[in-house]
A and B are shown apart, each in its own frame.
Chain A
């Protein structure tokens, strides 16, 4: 399997649930990213990991908790979400030795469509 994969593709959860989104990249990249895309809004960068180290947290609420166990896998743990957190969550990766965001081409996964009820 090649490219960037994300699971699940669709997720419906209640506000008291705990769930996790998974991203896996098969490109040998060292940087991975979580983005949020809400309806009618631009993409928002949430987290950046470079060589498994979190380098950026763009003022994301603590109910979103990222985890990067190795350079190929990235998780986004979700708990006590709000309805306004309903969005498309996109994972991306890049080969980015300098850690300079968007200085290198990014490869995106298909996204997880999250609905919080």
Chain B
């Protein structure tokens, strides 16, 4: 089973700062997802990556397959970005091939 590590576990920053959240995994994957979970539980899928880089608004996600590492960047952070960011990877068929990180709790202060 893949091991997924996210860092940092908790991050507090000031509005406007550039934010980076990291995700590392131990076994080769076919897809990696970044999810955003707001207080109250609702989850939104931000990105699905298998290679390279994707950008959506102020969010950028990158993945380095060789280094088994992905980063989620937030530019010009805003208090509404405060949420838990979860990395999830698919490394094989079946439910056993699906692994979620524990999440990074981000707080953006005004």
Interface, chain A (partner B; CB < 8 A) = 37, 40-45, 48, 56-58, 88, 90, 92, 100-111, 113
Say whether B98 faces chain A, with CB atoms less than 8 Å apart.
yes
Q: Are A102 and B31 in contact (CB under 8 A)?
A: yes
Closest to B93 in A: A100
B99 smallest CB distance to A (angstroms): 8
Interface, chain B (partner A; CB < 8 A) = 4, 30-31, 33, 35, 40-45, 48, 86, 88-90, 93-103
Bound Cα distance from A100 to B48, whole angstroms: 14
Shortest 9 CB-CB contacts between residues of A and residues of B? A58-B95, A108-B43, A111-B41, A42-B100, A102-B90, A56-B95, A43-B100, A110-B42, A88-B41
Q: Are A43 and B86 in contact (CB under 8 A)?
A: yes
Q: How many A-B residue pairs have CB under 8 A?
A: 65
Interface of A is mostly: loop
Q: Are B42 and A103 in contact (CB under 8 A)?
A: no
What would 17 A/B residue contacts be, using CB atoms closer than 8 Å?
A: A37-B41, A42-B86, A42-B101, A43-B100, A45-B95, A48-B95, A57-B95, A58-B95, A88-B41, A100-B30, A100-B93, A102-B88, A102-B90, A105-B45, A106-B45, A111-B42, A111-B43
